[in-house]
Amino acid sequence: MSGRLRVGRLTAVFARALVLALAGCTASTGPRPNVLIVVIDTLRADRVSCYGYERPTTPHIDALCARGVRFENASSTSSWTVPAHASLFTGLFPILHGATQEHVRLTGSASTLAEILGAHGYATFAASDNPLVGPRTGLDRGFDTFVETWRDNEERDPDPYLHPNLGAVTRFLAGLEPDRPFFVFANYIEPHGPYAPPEPHRSQFLSPDTDPALVRSTLRRNAAGYYLDPGSISAREFAVLNDLYDGEVARVDALVGALVDSLERSGHADDTLLVITSDHGENIGDHGHFRHVFSLYRTTVRIPLILILPDGRRAGEVRSEPVGLVDLFATVLRQCGIEPPTGAISGRDILGDPGEHPIFAEYYYPLQVLDLFSPDALEAKREIFEPYLHRLRSVEAGDWRFVWSSSGRHALFDLARDPEELRNLAGTPDSAEIEHRLRALLDGFVERAGGEPPLPAELQSNSGRPAAFDDLDSESARRLRELGYIR
Ligand SMILES: [Zn+2]
């Protein structure tokens, strides 16, 4: 028994050394803070009060802002959950980690934050309320324990203290080995559609005279119906959807407040690096879109990013340079005294390396959305879907943003004059020089990554469409249907 135990320990030690060697990391020295990363799925930066929103949606997050460093111009690497989380965990853009709309799984050899922190002695734990963040997509890699809280329907109640993420994380903190640092990741899905917050948040931002029948009909709206029949959601319904979305933001704000209370009660708050962010934003009628599909507008890639450092260091600091979700990997490792792998990652330490850098985002061929529609419906509505059957890649530098499309329908926005991206200047003579310059930045980005990745074989040969989601267990299928991913 003891022999087996020793072999087991040696295997674990060897595995950790191997992860460190493969990742090219050096051993940590100095203090090792705990890390708690909270991803609020589908949270637009411009709906958070401390990011300038006029509605008081986020009192708890606002209070955290005052205690930490707020990055007011942060972006995700994509407008979708899987590529964004894979970038958060690997420090790589989608073109390098390969978990995209075309290949819905992290399968590459890149080391993850959980693997590296685990190899440095951290206890690693995740609670995910999104079925697309977990074992199904390979995003559980490296965590000692990964709890799919979305499978837990018992601990759900309007009372935030009964949310399954809170229960899971609180139990983990209570069972910690003394003096062992931890890395906890939690995904909250509340702002993701359908927007149906419980009271008191459901009514919080609805006008009191809103017709209850209108609210009921609006709650039945989904992306599939909208794209099959554009115009089917009225301006009044989009107004209600926006009010309900804000209610979901207020609801998740209370949940995050409860989680931070639990961290404080555990006694670990002062030696924990707390990160509050999101994986992507949302279109709620913006740009003729609904939900976070088919596009890379800033409504879908701008995210909040707040870092609360141990012992209240740098409290109240606001940073305006453009930064990305992809930067968290290097930033968190440095905070833990671990030198990030050199040359192998896309991100940088944004707490230690200020400066202007272009911001990139990517959207791959939308296989994950097309699963929503029957082949007959896609064929019958070909003229609607055809413009969306493309890859997109965006770059933002200074006041300009360029969105390349594999279909050739590019877009260029002058953010100083047009922050809402309403006037496409691509192809206009006055903007030719800036368009050329931004396109060269994107070309360099692709070249450094080894070139444009090939399309899935089925799409290249026109022999059909590979399924984005296959082998679903019944619970996963039910939840993905509720979230609007499959028929
Ligand atoms: Zn998401």
CA 425–ligand 1 middle distance (angstroms): 30
80 CA from centroid of ligand 1 (Å): 5
The SS3 call for residue 345 is coil
CA dihedral over 345, 350, 352, 354, signed as positive or negative: positive
> Which pLDDT does position 8 carry in this prediction?
43
Compute the distance from residue 165 Cα to the ligand 1 centre, in Å. Answer: 16
176 Cα: distance to centroid of ligand 1 (angstroms): 29
Report pLDDT for 477.
83
Q: Is the CA virtual torsion 184, 17, 93, 103 positive or negative?
A: negative
Where do we find the tokens 């939840």? 479
CB 316 within 8 A of CB 66: yes
Distance in Å, CA 7 to ligand 1 centroid: 40
Distance CA 363, CA 296 (A): 7
Q: Is 179 helix (H, G, I), strand (E, B) or coil?
A: coil
Distance 188 CA to ligand 1 centre (A): 9
Cα of 411 to ligand 1 centre, how many Å?
A: 24
Beta strands 272-277; 145-148: pairing state: unpaired
Degrees to nearest 5, angle at CA 242 with 241 and 244: 65
Give distance in angstroms: CA of 382 to centre of ligand 1: 27
**Measuring CA to CA, which residue among 84, 112, 133, 72 is closest to residue 322?**
72
**Max CA separation in the chain (angstroms):** 77
Centre of ligand 1 to C-alpha 279, Å, is 5
Cα of 429 vs centre of ligand 1, distance in Å, is 38
pLDDT of residue 5: 39
Measure 477 CA to ligand 1 centroid, in angstroms.
Answer: 17
Q: How far is the CA of 96 from the centre of ligand 1 (A)?
A: 19
Cα–Cα dist 359/394, whole Å: 8
Gap from CA of 11 to ligand 1 centroid (Å): 36
Ligand 1: distance of its center to the CA of 4 in Å?
42
Q: Ligand 1 mean position to 104 CA, how many Å?
A: 13
The angle formed by the CA atoms of residues 31, 11 and 99, to the nearest 5 degrees, is: 75
Within 8 A by CB and 6+ apart from 200, the residues are 158
In 3D space, the residue among 327, 192, 323, 336 whose CA is nearest the CA of residue 273 turns out to be 336
Residue 13, pLDDT score: 47
User: What is the 252 CA–ligand 1 centroid distance (Å)?
Assistant: 14
The helix/strand/coil state of 4 is helix
Q: How far apart are CA 280 and CA 453, in angstroms?
A: 23
- Cα of 278 vs centre of ligand 1, distance in Å, is 8
Distance 486 CA to ligand 1 centre (A): 15
Yes or no: say if 469 and 371 are a contact pair by the CB < 8 Å rule: yes
Task: Find the 47 Cα to ligand 1 centroid distance in Å.
Answer: 16
**Structure letter (DSSP) for residue 46:** G
Long-range contacts of 473-481 (CB under 8 A, 24+ apart): 475/151, 476/131, 476/136, 479/131, 479/150, 480/131, 480/132
How many angstroms does the Cα of residue 114 sit away from the middle of ligand 1? 19
Rounded to the nearest whole angstrom, what is the distance from the C-alpha of residue 44 to the centroid of ligand 1?
A: 11
Token digits of residue 168: 């899971």
C-alpha span between 268 and 172 (Å, rounded): 12
56 C-alpha to ligand 1 centroid (Å): 23
Cα(448) to centroid(ligand 1), Å = 27
Residue 443 has, within 13 A of its CA and on its CB side, a CA count of 6
Q: How far, in Å, is the centroid of ligand 1 from the Cα of 16?
A: 30
- Between CA 23 and CA 48 the distance in angstroms is 36
Cα 273 to middle of ligand 1, angstroms: 22
C-alpha 483 – ligand 1 centre gap (Å) = 10
Name the burial class of residue 318, with classes exposed (0-12), middle (13-18) and buried (19+) by CB atoms within 10 angstroms of its CB: exposed
What distance in angstroms lies between residue 40's CA and the mean position of ligand 1's atoms? 8
Cβ–Cβ contacts within 10 Å for residue 424, how many? 15
Q: Which two tokens stand for residue 319?
A: 């940073």
Which domains does the chain show, CATH number per domain? 30-363 (3.40.720.10), 375-482 (3.30.1120.10)
Half-sphere exposure of 197 (CA within 13 A, CB side): 31
Q: What is the pLDDT of residue 21?
A: 55
42 alpha carbon to ligand 1 midpoint, in Å?
Answer: 5
How many CB atoms neighbour CB 233 within 10 A? Answer: 20
Per-residue pLDDT tens listing for the chain (487 residues) = 333 434 444 455 455 555 555 555 555 556 799 999 999 999 999 999 999 999 999 999 999 999 999 999 999 999 999 999 999 999 999 999 999 999 999 998 899 999 999 999 999 999 999 999 999 999 999 999 999 999 987 656 667 677 999 999 999 999 999 899 999 999 999 999 999 999 999 999 999 999 999 999 999 898 888 999 988 999 999 999 999 999 999 999 999 999 999 999 999 999 999 999 999 999 999 999 999 999 999 999 999 999 999 989 999 999 999 999 999 999 999 999 999 987 767 889 999 877 889 999 999 999 878 878 888 888 888 888 888 989 999 999 999 999 999 999 999 999 999 999 999 999 999 999 999 999 999 999 999 999 999 988 777 776 666 677 777 788 888 888 888 777 7
State if pTM tops 0.85. yes
Burial class (CB in 10 A: 0-12, 13-18, 19+), 7: exposed
- How confident is the model at residue 1, as a pLDDT? 34
Q: Which two tokens stand for residue 235?
A: 């301006």
> Quick one: tokens of 202?
């459901």
Ligand 1 center to residue 81 CA distance, Å? 3
* Whether residue 200 has a cis bond before it, omega within 30° of 0: yes
Residue 132 CA to ligand 1 center (angstroms) comes to: 8
